[in-house]
Structure 1
Amino acid sequence: MKDVVMALDLADDTTRDAVTARLAARYAGRPVLLGPGILAGCTGLVERFVALGCRVLVLSTGDGAGPVPPDGSCTVVEVDLPPTASMTEEVRVLDRTVRTLPSHLVDAIEAFDPQRRGLWHTSPFVTDDEPVLGRPVTGGRPASYLALEDKMLADDLWAAAGVEHAPYRICPVERAELAAATRTLATTRGVVWSGDARDGLNGGGNFVRWVRDTDDEAAAFAFFAPRCDRVRVVGFLDGVPCSIHGFVVPGAGTAVFRPVELAILRDEARRRFVYGGLSTWWDPPAADREAMRAAARRVGDHLAAHHDYRGAFGIDGVLTHDGFRPTELNTRASAGVSTIASVDPAFFSFLQAALVSGVETGLSAADLESLLPLMDAHRHGRPSAVGQGVPVGGTHSYPISYDGARLTRSEQPTGSDLVAADTPIGFFAKIDPCTLLEPGDRLAPLNAALLAHLDAAYDTGFGDLQAAPDLR
């Protein structure tokens, strides 16, 4: 009779802390290089690595919104990114930036780590196939994983994994074929065109266009013609934008977690989508939750079997009147993964780095899924805004109140603060901490109120934005 192996209870703090310490051990006492990225985004990482006895150097592209690492906790080296006008352009240059650093930055890194004992711990937009300046990369991902995010590949993957998806057509960037596909697939709200990754990864909705009439077609065609070879056309999916996430554990299955709401707002007049924050406060119906989890498990198992995949992934989609329909695959620790990982960011950060690097974790999918009750008990989410090409004039932070429709600045502490700061592409704003939601609440209406407040306070130009309807 075979021995029954019991799953670890990672919802237990003591158990999880012990596993985190084991996963983090390979960093202990070694120099660590972080970035390139916004300094405020590195604050938690600096704290974790300092606690492991690491000296830390951060390649900073700007301070960003929120607290930065305390003075003396790390070495900060400023790196200038080329001018960019969108999130897509910004992430595309990160890998190239670390591999073509100017000599004065290389000198600073070599002086910081003269024995080359250090590790780069960076974002998934930096590939880990080759070392950087002779130092291994962790926290990134192989170029083969990045390539899987091309939206032209997603529908074949859904079919191979047995996941129900909306009808679609992939067209060359030719006006007549795109118009014909649009007429065939249009719903009452039109269609959505999504561009390929010919020139590199695209995200943040930058290569997505909402098409309802011939004027929309002309504008979308003018955008895609110089940037893409192919465009995917799919009927507009009405319902709650959301995502589901998992971790592929080599030889031990796919762990899947809980749904995350995506605050993707609609601009009816300008036919565009505006991306906001993410949240686990929202709860879809129980049957839909389990259907989404089953879809993620099938996709994770397919990625493992056919693409030698390891680590985190996410499926974005829409919970329509007919159920969940996937729209794109994120083969990385995406913002949605970070949202569910808020129950213990250190654990998930070291887990993801270990899995992608091929380090044996000693964990199974069942072990990881023991965290589900903790994720359901400790909700997380906050509205956010990315302004592209528009600054807010420095850094701002103040208490904010919400009456269910509008956000207003408060002169007294409210438990929720609006934080905004200029970035290389424009600005970033968020409500952090956010104490304005209860279990079951949608984030999207609150995110719409945030963007309306930013328009009124800083003339950011988001315009009239609406939350998608809940049809279930």
Structure 2
Amino acid sequence: MTPAESPAHRSTARAIDALRGYWSGRSAVLFWPSFTGTARVLTGQLAACGATVAGVVTATAPAADAPAVPHIFSCAQQGLDVPRNGFYRWLENPPPELGAWLDRVDPQRSWTVLGDNFLAAGELLGRPVHGWRRPQWSAWEDKTRIEALWHLAGIPSPRHVVTRVDDPAVAGHVRELDRGSGVVLAIDSTRAHYGNATGLRWVRDPHALAEALRWAGERARTVRIAEFVEGTPCSILGTVLADGVAVFDPLEIVTLRERHGARLTFCGSSTRWRPDPAAVDQMRHYVRLAGSWLAANAGFRGMFSVDGLLGEDGFTATELNPRQASGLGLREAWPGFPGYLFQRGVQEALPGVADLPWQDVETAFRDAIRRHPSHSVSVPAPQASLPPGEHSAHLITGDLARTVRFRLDDRRARLTDVDPLPGDGSLGPTAAALARLLGRPELAAPCDRFHPGGTP
């Protein structure tokens, strides 16, 4: 039996019919901080479900590769100073000219609003927002608050202290929590959202603490100070449906570190990782606990992820994303499944979508992604002497020679293929070796082992 013939796949595929039934004949207006070619995924899913993208409201000027739409309101082109990261705050009190423009192009107010994962309003300028971010859900993305959920749900996390940035006892907390590898400072989300390690600082040297606290104080009021845990950074995604929580397989978050410094460099993610099956079961169990807690205590619906580290002592959770997070790999594994619209349909309790059996969704997604693993990994290449385009290199990682193919563009190298893959499928060591080859000799992966003299 092929995956497409399995009962779980057929059951989950019925969501496509339900989404077509909802979207067919509708017009949508996208509220998007930056309108680029990445929006083609959403516009393509809407078109496949019979809908039309009639308009876009964006902070920036549309990129050259952005999809064509009939009507665009660009803040930049209108002479309005709206930064990308301040777009949704600006929409909390939209200017009259935006409302006038929207009523001119949609006089019947019949268009449905779609935003990205951070649009936190159920209605905008007299039009419904489909799949909006509820505040009681988004509150748990705060890295200083999430420890309460881990405790209540029974999920392990690193030893930590949550305190004010200006607490005079901070230095003492750091000394107590540091077991030799330093501590990690994570700031709250009161002023902005911080993703992809932008809200973290790894403090390995007590002398660097003052600078880290200065950085934190400019952005937040409270900070979580946690021991630095050695392990593979990873993420496990799940979906809260009407009858339970579907949990998928862990993916590797490829994050490189400086061998002697304290900077963390996010490089992407991979579904090729195959950790020990017992560890997979443990991680998925914890994620199911988190999803069940969110459903019972916050009325949560839809996709979420738990990020953490898999080390020698098991899994420890570090943060939760109560929204659709990147890296699942479903688009590559099941191209015809409208994952973005599926997520929004679950959030809005759409019949035929939110009420799918959780076991079927879990099985269908896991089977598809395991059969078609993928990755999106790129490393900095500031001193590469090669011209832009496709290249290959022979690298040694884990005492084995590997052929690495990559595409060089704009001072970054995008990993396209590794042959052979490591036994556990981890791409972190290969990404680090490629970065060292291309001008970042100080970068390493969490599980790197260097030969004498520091030669990879």
Pairing partner for 2:163 from 160, 171, 177: 171
Distance 1:104 1:172, change over 3 A: closer
SS at match of 1:370: helix
C-alpha spacing 1:449/1:32, structure 2 compared with 1 (3 Å):
farther
Q: Which amino acid aligns with 2:362?
A: E
Q: 1:40 aligns with which of 37, 42, 47?
A: 37
Q: 2:176 maps to which residue?
A: 184
Note closer, same or farther for the CA distance 1:185–1:416 as it changes in structure 2 (3 Å cut).
Answer: closer
Task: Please give the residue correspondences for 1:311-322 in structure 2 after superposition, counting only pairs within 5 Å.
Answer: 311-322=302-313
Residues 322-380 of structure 1 deviation map (CA, whole Å, 9 limit, x = unaligned)? 0111101111001134x345423643222210111232323021121122111111101
Give distance in 1, aligned partners of 2:343 and 2:302.
Answer: 6
Match of 1:301 among 274, 289, 292: 292
In the TM superposition, residue 148 of structure 1 has moved relative to its aligned partner by: 1.1
TM superposition shift of 1:59: 3.5
What does the per-residue CA deviation read over 1:178-216, in whole Å, with 9 as the maximum and x for residues that have no partner? Answer: 111111111221111111122233222222111122221
Distance 1:285 1:143, change over 3 A: same
What secondary structure does 2:208 align onto?
helix
The 3-state SS of whatever aligns with 2:145 is helix
SS of the residue 1:152 aligns to: coil
1:249–1:310: 8 Å Cα contact kept in structure 2?
Answer: yes
More displaced stretch, 23-32 vs 254-263: 23-32
Q: Which residue of 2 aligns with 1:126?
A: 119
> Once structures 1 and 2 are overlaid, which stretch shifts more, 93-102 or 130-139?
93-102
Q: Secondary structure of 2:269's match?
A: strand
Counterpart-to-counterpart distance in 2, 1:211 and 1:228: 17
1:313 deviation in Å? 0.8
Counterpart in the other structure of 1:30: 26
Partners in 2 of 1:50 and 1:277 — Cα distance? 28
Shift of 1:245: 1.2
Q: Tell me, yes or no, if the aligned pair for 1:39 and 1:63 is still in contact at 8 Å.
A: yes
Q: CA deviation at 1:64?
A: 6.2
Which letter maps to 2:350?
V
Match of 1:443 in 2: 427
- Structure 2 SS opposite 1:233: strand
Match of 1:232 in 2: 224
TM superposition shift of 1:143: 1.8
Query: Is the contact between residue 173 and residue 229 of structure 1 (CA under 8 Å) also seen in structure 2?
Result: yes
How large is the RMSD of aligned CA atoms in angstroms?
Answer: 3.2
Q: CA deviation at 1:23?
A: 2.3
Decide whether aligned partners of structure 1 residues 263 and 64 sit closer, same or farther in structure 2, where only a CA change above 3 A counts: farther
Question: Is the deviation greater in 169-178 or in 146-155?
Answer: 169-178
Distance 1:132 1:397 in 2: 43
Q: Tell me how far apart the structure 1 counterparts of residues 379 and 368 of structure 2 sit (CA, whole Å).
A: 28
Q: Which residue of 2 aligns with 1:58?
A: 56
| Conserved? CA contact 1:8–1:367, under 8 Å | no
Q: Is the 8 A contact 1:28 1:54 kept in 2?
A: yes
Change (3 A) 1:367 1:158: same
User: 1:450: Cα distance to partner?
Assistant: 6.2
**Cα–Cα, structure 1 residues 141 and 83, in superposed 2: closer, same or farther, change >3 Å?**
closer
| Equivalent residues of 1:402, 1:436 under 8 A apart | no
Of residues 439-448 and 110-119 in structure 1, the stretch that sits farther from structure 2 once superposed is 439-448
Q: What residue identity is the alignment partner of 2:181?
A: R
Cα distance in 2 between the residues matched to 1:24 and 1:416: 38
Q: CA deviation at 1:260?
A: 0.7
Where in structure 1 are there 5+ consecutive unaligned residues? 1-6, 85-89, 391-395, 407-413, 421-426, 457-461
Instruction: Quote how far apart the aligned CAs of 1:449 are.
Output: 5.6
CA pair 104-349 structure 1, distance change in 2 beyond 3 A: same
Kept in 2: contact 1:303–1:309 (CA 8 A): yes
Equivalent position amino acid for 2:417 in 1: T
Confirm whether residue 280 of structure 1 aligns to residue 271 of structure 2: yes
The two structures have a TM-score, normalised by structure 1, of: 0.80
Distance 1:83 1:401, change over 3 A: farther
Q: Name the residue aligned to 1:459.
A: none
- Partners of 2:89 and 2:66 lie apart in 1 by 25
SS in 1 for 2:392: strand
Q: Which residue of 2 aligns with 1:466?
A: 444
Change (3 A) 1:53 1:347: closer
Structure 2 alignment gaps of length 5 or more: 398-403, 450-456
| Kept in 1: contact 2:20–2:50 (CA 8 A) | no
Amino acid at match of 1:444: G
> Matched residues in 1 for 2:145 and 2:428: separation?
29
Inter-partner Cα distance in structure 2 for 1:139 and 1:397? 40
Q: Tell me the matched-pair count.
A: 423
Query: Cα distance 1:287–1:216, how it changes in 2: closer, same or farther (>3 A)?
Result: same
1:99-153 residue CA offsets vs partner (Å, 9 max, x unmatched): 455555545433432221111121111113x311212112431122111111122
Match of 2:359 among 349, 366, 369: 366
CA distance change for structure 1 residues 446 and 171 in 2, over 3 Å: closer, same or farther?
Answer: same
Contact in 1 for aligned 2:146/2:320 (Cα 8 Å): yes
* Residue number in structure 2 paired with 1:3: none
Contact 2:252 2:269 (8 Å CA) reproduced: yes
Give 1:405 deviation, angstroms. 6.5
TM-score (norm 2): 0.83
Deviation readout 1:205-247 (Å, 9 max, x if unpaired): 2221111222211111111223222211111111110011111
CA distance in 1, matches of 2:413, 2:119: 25
Distance across 2 between alignment mates of 1:430 and 1:34: 31
CA distance, structure 2, for counterparts of residue 62 and residue 397 of structure 1: 26
- Residue 431 of structure 1 corresponds to 414
Identity rate, percent? 28
3-state DSSP class of the match of 1:169?
strand
Q: Contact conserved, 1:186 with 1:236, CA < 8 A, in 2?
A: yes
Distance 1:74-1:17 versus aligned 2 partners, 3 A rule: farther
Aligned equivalents of 1:363, 1:287: Cα separation in 2 = 28
Q: Would you say the 8 A contact 1:99–1:133 is kept in 2? A: no
Q: 1:197 aligns with which of 182, 189, 199?
A: 189
TM-superposed deviation, 1:38: 3.6
Q: Following superposition of structure 1 onto structure 2, how do residues 48-447 of structure 1 map, counting pairs within 5 Å?
A: 48-56=45-53, 57-60=55-58, 61=60, 68-69=66-67, 71=68, 75-80=71-76, 90-91=84-85, 93-101=86-94, 105-128=98-121, 130-174=122-166, 176-250=168-242, 252-337=243-328, 339-340=329-330, 342-344=332-334, 346-360=337-351, 361=353, 362-371=355-364, 372-384=366-378, 398-404=389-395, 417-418=407-408, 420=410, 431=414, 434-436=416-418, 438=421, 440-447=424-431
In the TM superposition, residue 269 of structure 1 has moved relative to its aligned partner by 4.0
Alpha-carbon shift at residue 75 of structure 1 (Å): 4.4
Is contact 1:257-1:369 (8 Å) kept?
Answer: yes
